[in-house]
Amino acid sequence: MNEKKISKDITLIAATSDNNALGKDNQLIWHISEDLKRFKRLTQGHAVIMGRKTFESMPKALPNRTNIILTRNREYTATDALIAHTPQEALAFTGDDKQPFIIGGGEIYTLFLDVSHTIELTRVHDTFEADAFFPAIDTTKWLLIAEEKNMPTSDQPHTYSYLTYKKIS
C-alpha cells in the first residue's frame, strides 16, 4: 500500500503479552474487563477492520461501528459487516472516518503495520502459549508517547500497561 495517499490516522489496537501473544485457538487468552471497556470507548463510532477469523470469534458484529472484514474468500458473507478482499478496499470502506481501527488478528496487523500511524497496545506483563501474535514493534520507527501501568485485581491476576505509540516520520 502507498502510505503517501492515506490521510487517516490508521490505528492498530490490540492486547498482547510480553511475548506478543494475541490468542490461541481463535480466542483471547485473558479477560481484562477494563481493557475491553477501553477498546469499546476508543473504537465506538469508528470503522474497525478485522480478519475473518477475528470476526468469527465474536458473537456478532460490533455495535456502533462500521465492521469491515478482510478476507481472501470471494464467497464470504457476514451479517452487519462489509467484506473487503484487499487492504486498499478495506480502507476505502472506512469512508470519512479519520481514525479507522485495525483490530486483528495477527496477519491483519502485519498487513497494516507499515501504513498505520498509531498503535494502542495493552501489554499484559506475562508470557503465554499462543498461535496468533502481534508483529514486533520496531522502536526505530515507533515512539512510545504514553504509558499507564495497571496492577492485578481480584478479578484478573495480570499486571498490564496501556501503551500508545506514534510512528516516527
DSSP string, the chain: --GGG--S--EEEEEEETT-EEEETTEES---HHHHHHHHHHHTTSEEEEEHHHHHTSSSPPTTSEEEEE-S-TT---TT-EEESSHHHHHHTTTT-SS-EEEE-HHHHHHHGGG--EEEEEEESS----SEEPPPP-TTTEEEEEEEEE---SS----EEEEEEEE--
Q: Using one digit for the tens of pLDDT, what is the confidence trace for 53-75?
A: 999 999 999 999 999 999 999 99
pLDDT of residue 65: 98
The CATH fold assigned to 3-167 is Dihydrofolate Reductase, subunit A (3.40.430)
Structure confidence at residue 145 (pLDDT): 98
- Which tens digit of pLDDT belongs to each residue from 103-115? 999 999 999 999 9
Mean predicted confidence (pLDDT) in 19-23:
97
d(CA 27, CA 108) in angstroms, rounded, equals: 16
Residue 2: the pLDDT is 45
The pLDDT score that the predictor gives to residue 7 is 80
User: How would you classify the pairing of strands 47-51 and 101-104?
Assistant: parallel
Average pLDDT over residues 16-36: 94
Residues 115-169 pLDDT 10s:
999 999 999 999 999 999 999 999 999 999 999 999 998 888 999 999 999 999 7
- C-alpha distances in Å from residue 20, one per residue of 36, 65, 124: 18, 26, 9
